Amino acid sequence: MNASLDSTRGLLTGLTAAGSQNCDVAVFPPFPYLALAAELLQDSGIALGAQNCSDEDSGAFTGEVSASMLVDTGCSMGLVGHSERRALYGETDYTVLAKTRKLLENGMVAVVCVGETLEQRKALREETVVSEQLNLLIGELSNADWDKVVIAYEPVWAIGTGETATPEQAQSMHAFIRSELKRVSGSVAEKTRVLYGGSVKAANAAELFAKPDVDGALVGGASLDINEFLKICRA
């Protein structure tokens, strides 16, 4: 929950002025700035996503925003299951599955977040926790659905703390996630993008991206600084 009209305009103008990057780039502004973002990103090749969506289509759900509204605004992607949504707003794996379905039904890409807390990692439960978070998706989504799903691993203990999983820790969990996706199929495990999110910055991006199972980043605080974000894109 950051940004303003001015900062959104400044960030996106800077991003489009930098020209094409040798990677796929998407931005996920807060809801009030999506229409402005769609306008600024037109013909830029940069995808637009939303930070959340409702698990309902329409109706008496004041304050909620549906997947079809997001499409209408120009979004092609949506973020679901972020650790803050799970921790602060009680979203369960069932909620995450329902929201993922709504995004997919509307032709959008679902970026689904998974990850463990510090307590869970200290208890050596990180793989168990992530496996549980993936279970419903693996059991309920079809092979075709997985063409539009991206998994983002975000160790909760490394978000906004300045702590970062080591490249080896990130690789280990990403390899585990890929092994879990083999329960759907080998091709799904191979093709699904698995992003790392957790205090990603220009200084550590290249080392993280060098790992074979790290396909990109879900960038938080560093995305509010255009120069820092561009350095991550270039990495």
> Tell me, what's the pLDDT at 101?
98
Rounded to the nearest integer, the mean pLDDT of the chain is: 96
> Tell me, what's the pLDDT at 184?
97
- pLDDT bucket at 187, cuts 50 / 70 / 90: very high
> Tell me, what's the pLDDT at 192?
98
Is the pLDDT score of 111 beyond 90?
Answer: yes
Is the pLDDT score of 232 beyond 90?
Answer: yes
Beta bridge mates, 47: 26
Q: Active site residue: 82, 91, 116, 174, which one?
A: 82
Question: Over the range 125-148, which residues count as b (16 or more CB within 10 Å of their CB) and which as e?
Answer: ebbebbbebbebbeeebeeebbeb
Looking up tokens 């990180």 gives: 126
120-161 pLDDT, tens per residue?
999 999 999 999 999 999 999 999 999 999 999 999 988 777
26-43 pLDDT, tens per residue?
999 999 999 999 999 999
Q: Is 82 a catalytic residue?
A: yes
Q: Is 174 a catalytic residue?
A: no
Query: What 3-state DSSP class applies to 140?
Result: helix
> Tell me, what's the pLDDT at 113?
98
C-beta of residue 172 within 8 angstroms of C-beta of residue 196: no
Distances (CA, A) of 4 to 49, 63, 100, 219, 220: 17, 20, 28, 18, 16
Q: Is the pTM of this model over 0.85?
A: yes
Indicate the DSSP class of residue 221: G
50-224 sits in which CATH class?
Answer: alpha beta
Q: Active site residue: 116, 154, 180, 228, which one?
A: 154
> Tell me, what's the pLDDT at 161?
76
User: Got the DSSP string for 204-218?
Assistant: HHHHHHTSTT--EE-
- pLDDT bucket at 21, cuts 50 / 70 / 90: confident
Is the pLDDT score of 49 beyond 80?
Answer: yes
